[in-house]
Amino acid sequence: MDTPPTTRPHDSVLARFMLGFVGDALPAPLAEYLAQGLAGIVLYQRNFTSAEGLLELTTAIRQAAGRPVLIGIDQEGGTRFALRAPFTAWPSAAELGKLGSEEYVAQVAGAMATELRAVGCNVNFAPMLDLHVNPESPVTKDRSFGSDPQLVARMGAAFDRGLRSGGVLSCAKHFPGHGDAAIDPHLDLPVFAGTMDRMERAELVPFAAAVSAGVPLVMTAHILLPQIDPENPASLSRVILDDVLRHRLRFDGVILADDLGMGAIAKKYGAGEAAIRTLQAGTDMAMLCHDWSAVAPAIAAVRRGREEGKFDEVEWQDSLKRIERACLQSEMKYLPRPPLETLGCQEHRALAKKVRDQLR
């Protein structure tokens, strides 16, 4: 009898990372990491110049891994975190929030998913569920569905539903929300003085709705919440990730720590220390997206940490199970890959125009 294939990674330390790289071809070291057990790759516009090139790259990623892996990309709509042509130019989350139609949001997200599957991506780092409370916030401006927690909850749930119905895993971000913080975490650490009571009435409402709807992945925010954990940014906080997200909200999917190379984290912590601390806090997968020189030291630090007993073994195995489940979910074999001509097709352009026309 043939032995059934397994998705269990060879190297469980590599399985706890999601990595990005520069260039439009899969680097040999990254291909080796995939072969050994790396569970995910993050892609950006810098990684391709054509739809054909992107499909070739995602195909190479799958071939190097030899098993289901997460291939994630930012496609929020709008301009700042949206894919350029030939992908359809979708309305922003802010526009969709103003329209307030769950049906349109789900349709747009479903069409986004179809285009992403056409180029071999299986995770979209969306919906963004941060509330747009501060009009000058560099994080939420044009990227948030709005300031009303219930509206953002409804729009986020519809977006999540549309992506998954279209065959792409959704990733709710940035937990527990940026509140009215005014600093861009790419540059430095934002601080939000909200209490847990305030968070439960506002920032946590969209995430609670997403968790209830079954969102498979949640990405953390690099933000300090001194009223809740005065010592650790949310991405490194066991109070935020384990107590609040895992137990209070009962989330049992994959927790992703946003890029540990962002200024909010990197200005205080080295990549190795940050990776250890975020995994200890309850993160399943740590992301390193822009600084390749930090990747090997971070992996080595986590490997040493595991050898030294810095991680709870039961929690480690639970994380591996969640990651394995997400990887299996990401490859929806019953949905054939759409043709590349789906990108920017007439039907999708007409949907985008119809949504924008409703706003006039």
The answer to whether the beta carbons of residues 281 and 235 sit under 8 Å apart is yes
- Please name which of 125, 300, 87 lies closest in space to residue 216, comparing C-alpha atoms: 125
Q: How far apart are CA 199 and CA 204, in angstroms?
A: 5
Catalytic option among 74, 258, 259, 284: 258
SS3 state at 144: coil
The answer to whether the beta carbons of residues 160 and 106 sit under 8 Å apart is no
Most distant pair of Cα atoms in the chain: their distance: 64
Catalytic option among 11, 24, 184, 186: 186
The answer to whether the beta carbons of residues 262 and 236 sit under 8 Å apart is no
- Please name which of 146, 156, 140 lies closest in space to residue 106, comparing C-alpha atoms: 156
Q: How far apart are CA 16 and CA 296, in angstroms?
A: 13
First-to-last alpha carbon distance for the chain, in angstroms, is 64
Residue type, 182: A
Structure tokens at 52: 């054909």
186 is catalytic: yes
Q: How far apart are CA 242 and CA 233, in angstroms?
A: 13
Q: List % helix, strand, coil for the chain (3-state, nearest 5).
A: 45, 10, 40
Structure tokens at 324: 């394995």
Q: How far apart are CA 106 and CA 103, in angstroms?
A: 5
Q: How far apart are CA 37 and CA 321, in angstroms?
A: 14
Q: How far apart are CA 338 and CA 340, in angstroms?
A: 7
Q: How far apart are CA 25 and CA 64, in angstroms?
A: 12
Q: Which residue has the tokens 């409402």?
A: 205
74 is catalytic: no
The H-or-E segment that residue 77 falls in is none
Catalytic positions are 186, 258
